């Protein structure tokens, strides 16, 4: 009788939910508290720089494979980094609402959580057979969407009801439960493929990174990683301060954010069901247009000061665009990873993806302080429109080249 891997998928889902929800709360939920305490848009944007270690994920991913413990490598890496993660959460719970202290602690937390993400997923994937690894990608995408509901909605309700510390205490408890789950999985599920590591260990870190960029047809994909997501992501970041400025209460914003997160999860699920019918290139092009349309709708709402159903419709359109964009990029990242260098390739692509996601919110915060919410959303919408044109033309040329090559053969 085939063995069920449902519980192992659940372990991976829980651990990724903890990491993703804590990061989303820190960078999407906490800005609401910052705005309540009088932080400017520029300060909120600069706070996003504390997520800079995500850009350096390629420096953290490769050593997990290259510098190995003699036994239980991924479990020991995860255990050590989990201790640091809990310490950062505890420090945030006791921190004062000052820019310097919050920035430094958030910087450390992002460093540890970005690093922790690598051994957790590698630990589970080594215990899954090939037939089950495709499911892990779908679970990871769904968990990220659910994390937006928890980090951007549920934890805001916890913050509004019990105060600043309790969301971070909740994440500490979730981390402890995740550690117990991983130890249980270590005892219950053996490694499926005990592949020799000599080939990886003989390659230097620079060789591992350089070989990724030397692969054919990578330039277009790398540009998409950098440009496709950050403008809709920045709008999602400033959505809660926008709703606060429109006069909504914290509780109302939390509930609306939770529903928007569910809509984003549903959008990602719908895309996963059409993978057989949509090529990656076509999905990237279409979803980039949807990003621009959603941002222009948000500009119209903020410029006209609509507080009715049109505001809710605009928020949901942004959620749909966010879910579709994150889904297609995650699928692309997984498809571009080489099996023998999965951690290194995953780290490099995550770094490229995160680079502009940090830079763009800073510029958006400056626009917010100078031009207001409508001016900021207009700028984001125009940039997203340019990106959609670039995606459509670049991918169309790439498809033509592939078609010509196939006819020539």
Q: Write out pLDDT tens, residues 6-57.
A: 888 789 889 989 999 998 888 877 877 777 777 777 777 778 777 777 777 7
Report the C-alpha gap between 298 and 312 in whole angstroms. 10
| pTM for this model (two decimals) | 0.75
Q: What is the pLDDT of residue 138?
A: 59
Query: Tens of pLDDT along 324-359?
Result: 888 788 777 766 766 566 667 777 887 788 777 778
Question: What's CA 6's distance to the chain center, in Å?
Answer: 24
Q: What is the mean pLDDT of the chain?
A: 80
Report the C-alpha gap between 23 and 174 in whole angstroms. 13
Q: Tell me the torsion sign for CA atoms 396, 399, 404, 407.
A: negative
- Among candidate residues 232, 231, 233, 255, the one with its CA nearest the CA of residue 243: 255
Tokens 């699920």 locate to 269
| 148 sits in which H/E element | helix 130-149
DSSP calls for 181-229: HHHHHHHHS--S-----HHHHHS-HHHHHHHHHTSTTHHHHHHHHHHSS
Q: How many CB atoms lie within 10 A of CB 388?
A: 22
- Among candidate residues 390, 138, 358, the one with its CA nearest the CA of residue 288: 390
Task: For residue 288, give both structure tokens.
Answer: 């980039």
Report the C-alpha gap between 81 and 111 in whole angstroms. 10
| Residue 244: burial class (beta carbons within 10 Å; 0-12, 13-18, 19+) | middle
Query: Tens of pLDDT along 212-265?
Result: 777 777 778 888 888 888 999 889 888 888 888 888 887 788 788 778 888 887
202 versus 40: the higher-pLDDT residue is 40
Report the C-alpha gap between 371 and 405 in whole angstroms. 49
Give the list of residues 6+ apart from residue 379 with CB closer than 8 angstroms, or none: 363, 364, 367, 371
**DSSP type of residue 378:** H
């Amino acid at each position: 009788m085939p063995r069920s891997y449902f519980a192992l998928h659940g372990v991976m889902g829980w651990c990724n939910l903890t990491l993703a929800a804590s990061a989303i709360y820190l960078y999407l939920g906490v800005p609401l508290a910052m705005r309540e305490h009088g932080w400017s848009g520029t300060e909120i944007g600069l706070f996003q720089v504390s997520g800079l270690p995500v850009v350096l994920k390629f420096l953290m991913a490769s050593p997990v494979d290259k510098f190995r413990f003699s036994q239980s490598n991924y479990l020991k890496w995860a255990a050590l980094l989990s201790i640091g993660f809990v310490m950062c959460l505890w420090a945030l719970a006791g921190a004062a609402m000052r820019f310097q202290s919050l920035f430094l602690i958030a910087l450390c937390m992002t460093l540890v959580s970005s690093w922790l993400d690598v051994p957790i997923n590698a630990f589970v994937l080594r215990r899954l057979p090939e037939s089950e690894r495709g499911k892990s990608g779908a679970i990871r995408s769904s968990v990220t969407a659910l994390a937006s509901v928890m980090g951007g909605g549920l934890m805001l309700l916890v913050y509004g009801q019990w105060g600043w510390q309790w969301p971070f205490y909740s994440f500490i408890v979730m981390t402890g439960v995740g550690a117990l789950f991983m130890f249980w999985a270590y005892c219950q599920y053996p490694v499926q493929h005990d592949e020799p590591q000599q080939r990886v260990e003989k390659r230097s870190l620079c060789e591992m990174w350089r070989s990724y960029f030397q692969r054919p047809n990578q330039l277009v994909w790398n540009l998409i990683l950098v440009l496709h997501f950050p403008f809709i992501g920045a709008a999602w970041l400033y959505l809660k301060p926008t709703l606060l400025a429109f006069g909504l209460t914290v509780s109302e914003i939390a509930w609306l954010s939770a529903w928007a997160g569910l809509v984003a999860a549903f959008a990602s699920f719908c895309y996963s069901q059409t993978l057989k019918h949509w090529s990656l290139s076509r999905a990237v092009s279409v979803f980039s247009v949807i990003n621009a349309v959603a941002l222009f709708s948000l500009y119209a709402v903020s410029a006209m000061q609509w507080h009715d159903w049109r505001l809710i419709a605009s928020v949901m359109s942004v959620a749909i665009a966010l879910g579709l964009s994150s889904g297609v990029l995650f699928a692309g990242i997984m498809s571009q990873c080489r099996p023998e260098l999965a951690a290194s390739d995953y780290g490099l692509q995550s770094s490229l993806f995160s680079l502009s996601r940090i830079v763009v919110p800073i510029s958006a915060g400056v626009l917010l302080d100078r031009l207001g919410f409508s001016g900021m959303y207009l700028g984001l919408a125009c940039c997203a429109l340019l990106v959609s044109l670039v995606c459509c033309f670049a991918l169309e040329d790439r498809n033509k080249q592939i078609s010509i090559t196939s006819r020539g053969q």
